[in-house]
Amino acid sequence: MEYRIEHDSMGEVKVPADRLWAAQTQRSHENFEIGVGIETMPAEIVHAFGVLKKAASIANNSLRSEKMTDEKMEAIKQACDEVMSGELLSHFPLVVWQTGSGTQSNMNANEVIANRGNQILGKKLLHPNDDVNMSQSSNDTFPTAMHIAAVLALEEKLIPAAETLIDTFKRLEAENEGIVKSGRTHLQDATPITFSQEISGWRSSLERDVELIKHAVQPLYELALGGTAVGTGLNAPKGFGPAVAAEVAKITGKPFVTAINKFHALTSKDEIVFAHGAVKALACDMMKIANDIRWLASGPRDGLGEIFIPENEPGSSIMPGKVNPTQCEAVTMVAVQVIGNDVAVGMAASQGNFELNVFMPVTAYNFLQSVRLLSEAMVSFNKNCAVGIKANKEKMHHNLHNSLMLVTALNPYIGYENAAKTAKKAFKDNISLKEACVELGFLTAERFDEVFHPEEMV
């Protein structure tokens, strides 16, 4: 491998000749061999750095044009566009497990953008710190990148995935209107419910989760940029915070604004914790829905068997013909991961000391993993399972009329205690509710038929 020599304030460093990063990135690459190639800084954070560095160059050009000349700004903007497109992702090798402020990833962005900008210019004009990092600090850029990445991931991936599944459930509700089945509580038989009502519970849960996520996005629109090292804005020109936030808003099409209190913005991660809580709520509901569906589809002969779900692949290496609810299982595993990530996010957010939180990379990694996994799991679940759900009407009818809890319909006519006796006798003697009620002398067969209508209990 060929190398070139780069230098920083600590001296010279050998850097692979074909890489755009420089000395500080190389030092981090060598000093933190933890999860290399596996747990690298999320691509969403790299994209966000491209956004904020572009926005910063534009704001600096308007506020201190003697230092951020038009020539420098245009080169930075072009390099940032390449970062944002993902074209330069291979030049961002650093792992999550680095400095807790994300300083090395900020410098990775500065070095790559400076070197790529110099390539575009055909001369060495841009400096990573003096130009690309102008008016900034790692301490305000990394939390800014976190918020940008979080908003884009929630609004462009997770919410659309949830809304697609909501639309599927709306269709299933309409298609299954009027099909009456047994309800269940405590995993035991309960009074009747329509299948469309059951589906509406799933749909409404997801709609509420989307509402909560949209509410949680609002505080994430506030950006720390402009606070620099400790929140005072040292070395940033007056008005830089609002100006750069306005540019980020233009680039992303999202209503980003500067944070009101930069001291809070640098040290507290409460907005991320709150938003991840909403993500966790969605994961919990998806766990419940996926479990409901695989229970209802259990069988095909010895389970509940009330619905059919798509058969996507063989389910056993030893049992021929076995097919499993694999999409449901994938969703539930993702839900477990998201719930676990919530603990990590909360613990990391609790570790702010004085003017800075130094658990930001792990916070960003877990947050973005949760959103990415849950989004992709919901898309897969919708495409490969939910859209193909079909009611097994015969089995639903059988289970409904075999349910002892239909006895609840008799309460107004024979009273709670006599209804309980009827249910227990029917179960003990393995006879119908009608037979038990008549044998106990509570109602005649004719009167039983007059008052007992399960389909009207919904």
Q: Catalytic residue positions?
A: 186, 316
End-to-end CA distance of the chain: 73
On the question of a cis peptide bond just before residue 300, with omega within 30 degrees of 0, the verdict is yes
Residue 140 near residue 224 (C-beta atoms within 8 A): yes
Q: How far are the Cα atoms of 87, 244, 271 from residue 111, in angstroms, in the given order?
A: 15, 20, 29
Place of tokens 């509420």: 208
Residue 181 near residue 396 (C-beta atoms within 8 A): yes
Burial 162-201 (b: 16+ CB within 10 A, else e): beebbebbeebbeebeebbbbbbeeeebebbbbbbbbbbe
Rounded Cα gap, residues 267 and 282, in angstroms? 27
Residue among 85, 109, 105 at smallest CA distance from 97: 105
**DSSP-derived 3-state class of residue 299:** coil
Contacts with 207 (C-beta within 8 Å, 6 or more apart), sequence order? 166
Q: What are phi and psi of 112, to 5 degrees?
A: -65, -45
DSSP structural state of residue 275: H
